[in-house]
Amino acid sequence: MTFVGYGLKSGVAQLETLVSNVVFPKDEAGTGWYQHRLKTPHGQAPPVPLRLADFAELVEPAAGAVRVLAPGAAITGTLSTPGEIDEYSFLAKAGQMVRFEAISAEIGTWLDPVLRIIDKDDKQVAINDDFGGTLDARLDFKVPADGTYRVRLHNGTGIDGSLDSVYRLTARLQQPGFTLSLPQTFAAPVGGKAPLTLSCVRIGGFAEEITLKLAGLPDGVTVPAEIKIPKGKNSVKVNVEVAKTAGTDVAFVTLTGTAMINKQPVTVTARSSFGGDLVPRRATARFDNRMLMVRTMASPVTLDLIDRNRQRPVHRGTTYPADFIVKREEGFDGPIRVRMAAAQQRRVQGMRGPVIQVPKGAERVQYPCFMPEWLETDRTTRFLVHSVAVQKDAKGRERHLVKGSVGSITMILEGALLKLAHRAGELTVAPGGSFEVPVAVSRSAKLSETAVVHIEVPEPLVGLIKAEPLMLKPGQGTGTLKVMTLPDAKLDGDWQIKLVATALQQGRWPAVSVTNVTVRFVR
């Protein structure tokens, strides 16, 4: 086998090839993969995943040679020239189902294979780009008439034109069969029910009924005794019911399906596709044969934004107190917290808010939304808030129940009320020395409160740089921060020190402006 990698022969960081003999073991675990430990002149390489299959394994012919890929074979090739198109011919008969699969991500390379089928009249009759949540391609082709066809493979949006632009293309006649899929996660409420969709992909003309079985259901969770995907259909909806006495918990559930194929019962295990991992090391890492089933509780609290359809004018760099009505279900008197949602409708961009405790029995609450001074003024900004109620489930376990507020806080940003600047120029300081930073604060006519200026230093320098806060009273716009340093080796080179000015509107709501000063420490 020819292996492609960096420094395989020379040890130098350059792309090169190394030919090595490989003895393939039996696939006793049924994974379809062999992790080969390649020995190089410079040591043993990390494991290289090699595909195992009952195919005739071929390599790409030399330029100008006849290129044929008969069903039942796999070929490994390289798009070594930018924009290269590889083409292979195959013979097929009318009605046959042929599956072509081109993998790159699954074998650790960087192509985005695109497959096309071309008929004898040079007409494209089928195409596939991405499949199964990856950039790899899979194409199921039902042959319309006897004859010779060509399968073309080229790179879509990936990286081609190098030694490691490698793909593996397989062709096989599809036998009747099916695959099953189920969601990665599924939630059903305690004391209620939820619809679960179970799906199949039919292969090779298979159209018969499929009998399904869910295993691993936790206590208190029930489904119909008989679940079937009807003949010719591709999915079925199942009502999942959770008893009122069930606790809130999670469990892994598996799905199998059994059908008669060629007069024999065939059982298939379903797969779920993972979300969230945008760069898996292997394409197969995107899949599992389990579903995470979650039994949930509904929150007994509703947080209702007052005047929720209104757009609120808010100054940049200030804190807007949003008014909410707190509605509790009858009988609930447990703790309630209000917090900013982690995922906002647009971007966070430095917006922030605290976690606040709602006093027992309180029917209204104000939530402070801080809107930083760099937010745009040419669009609306929406701020989302959650309530968190603490309540015990049927098993006596304390649960924190999260629920989004009714309505988002919609704001139109206006100019800042407070602006901080400094006149320090270029600062060069010896560790252990001191320096001064002249600052200037500009206030809007709407802001008359005292402004306090303090410094925030990078985490590695905490305790090594200090300055007393500077108070600038109403009418006072300038002052000087006096900064002291300690003689420490960490104070070396250029560092950014943050200057922060804060004024409390109505004695409660911060208006903030920030600027940075660069200090060069020279030993």
Class of domain 418-521: mainly beta
Q: What is the mean pLDDT of residues 236-248?
A: 95
- pLDDT for 251 equals 96
Q: What is the mean pLDDT of residues 186-206?
A: 94
pTM to 2 decimal places: 0.70
Q: Does 418-521 match 305-414 at the fold level?
A: yes
Instruction: Produce one character per residue of 471-496: b if its CB has 16 or more CB atoms within 10 Å, e if not.
Output: ebeeeeeebebebebeeeeebeeebe
Q: Is the pLDDT assigned to residue 284 strictly greater than 90?
A: no
> Average pLDDT, whole number, for the chain?
93
CATH 2.60.40 fits 305-414, yes or no: yes
Q: What is the mean pLDDT of residues 83-109?
A: 92
- pLDDT for 63 equals 82
pLDDT, tens digit, for every residue of 433-457?
A: 999 999 999 999 999 999 999 999 9
Is the sign of the CA dihedral 419, 425, 428, 432 positive or negative?
negative
- pLDDT for 278 equals 60
Q: Is the pLDDT assigned to residue 283 strictly greater than 60?
A: no
- pLDDT for 128 equals 95
pLDDT, tens digit, for every residue of 27-60?
A: 877 778 888 999 999 989 888 888 888 889 899 9
Q: Is the pLDDT assigned to residue 233 strictly greater than 90?
A: yes
Q: What is the mean pLDDT of residues 162-172?
A: 94
Question: Per-residue DSSP letters for 189-221?
Answer: ETTSEEEEEEEEEEETT----EEEEEE-PPTTE
Share of the chain above pLDDT 90, in %: 81
CB atoms within 10 A of CB 115: 22
Q: What is the mean pLDDT of residues 387-416?
A: 95
Listed residue (496, 478, 475) closest to 439, CA to CA: 478
Q: Is the pLDDT assigned to residue 339 strictly greater than 70?
A: yes
Q: Residue 282: which pLDDT band, with cuts at 50, 70 and 90?
A: low
C-beta separation of 146 from 93 below 8 A: yes
CA dihedral 98, 104, 110, 114 (to 10 degrees): 0
Where do the structural domains in the chain lie, given as residue ranges?
2-51, 56-173, 177-296, 305-414, 418-521
Cα distance between residue 382 and residue 409, in whole Å:
5
- pLDDT for 27 equals 80
CATH 2.60.40.10 fits 177-296, yes or no: yes
Residues with Cβ within 8 Å of residue 425, at least 6 apart in sequence: none
Cα distance between residue 88 and residue 193, in whole Å:
52
The second-level CATH assignment, the architecture, of 56-173 is Sandwich (2.60)
Cα distance between residue 187 and residue 14, in whole Å:
50
Share of the chain above pLDDT 70, in %: 98
Cα distance between residue 316 and residue 296, in whole Å:
39
In the DSSP assignment, the letter for residue 458 is -
Q: Is the pLDDT assigned to residue 297 strictly greater than 80?
A: yes
Place of tokens 């003949």: 231
- pLDDT for 280 equals 61
- pLDDT for 523 equals 87
C-beta separation of 35 from 46 below 8 A: no
Tokens of 123: 């007409």
**3-state secondary structure (DSSP) of residue 286:** helix
In the DSSP assignment, the letter for residue 134 is B
pLDDT, tens digit, for every residue of 74-86?
A: 999 999 999 999 9
Q: Is the pLDDT assigned to residue 277 strictly greater than 70?
A: no
Instruction: Produce one character per residue of 164-182: b if its CB has 16 or more CB atoms within 10 Å, e if not.
Output: bbbbbbbbbebebbbebbb
